[in-house]
Amino acid sequence: MKETTEKSTEQKPKKGRGLFLFLKASVSSQIASWVDMGLSQLLFAVVGLTLYDGFFAKAIGAATGGIINCCINYKWTFRPEDCSKRTVAIKYAIVWLGSLLLNSFGTAVTTGLVSDLPILQEWGITEKSVFFVAQLAVSLVVSICWNFMLQRYFVFRNVPIKDTLKSVSTKIKNHKS
């Protein structure tokens, strides 16, 4: 009898944790990516927004995809109960900017390091192919290790930005010592 009483008082895990939460975030990310790519292509190829080799078309697509991702994650994926939309938007923008920089520099560095490997040249692998694979690999790493983790534990939680920045700053100072 005691065993059934103990089992019934155990707390069940909350909905949306672990793998299921990761899968929901992945679906949200895919939707946002399709919007980003589709809008970028539409603006570049159909509307003719080709200024600076499509920089503005891509920037508008990326920003729109980011907004859509944030909204889907707010309403469906993470469903924060104690975070204001304004705070989420600010924290999301910080993480999104970091993601943009990590993807851009990570892809460029990886492409630069790998494209000159003699074996790839022997096999006839072009720099464009290396860029594609580097972009895919970097985006997967950034998506999981940066975007998902920070969205899960920082953006969509009631974690004050000032406290987080202070904590990070202290850890950096202590690490340098």
Q: 71 is written with which tokens?
A: 């909204």
**Could you tell me the pLDDT band of residue 45, with boundaries at 50, 70 and 90?**
confident
Same domain for 87 and 158, yes or no, is: yes
**Owning domain of residue 36:** 17-79
Look at residue 5 in the predicted model and tell me its pLDDT.
44
User: CA 75 to CA 32: how far, in whole Å?
Assistant: 14
Asked if the structure places residue 3 within a domain, the reply is no
Judge whether 158 and 83 are in contact, CB under 8 Å: yes
Residues 39 and 101 in one domain: no
Mean pLDDT across the stretch 129-144? 86
Domain endpoint, select from 79, 95, 111: 79
What's the predicted TM-score (pTM) here? 0.73
What was the pLDDT predicted at 53?
A: 65
38 falls within a domain:
yes
- Whether 153 and 90 map to the same domain: the answer is yes
Cβ contacts of 159 within 8 Å, gap of 6 or more: 153
Q: What does the pLDDT read at residue 1? A: 46
**Do 146 and 116 lie in a common domain?**
yes
* Across 55-78, average pLDDT: 91
pLDDT-derived band at 52 (thresholds 50, 70, 90) equals: low
Asked if 121 and 73 sit in the same domain, the reply is: no
Query: Among 29, 52, 79, which residue terminates a domain?
Result: 79
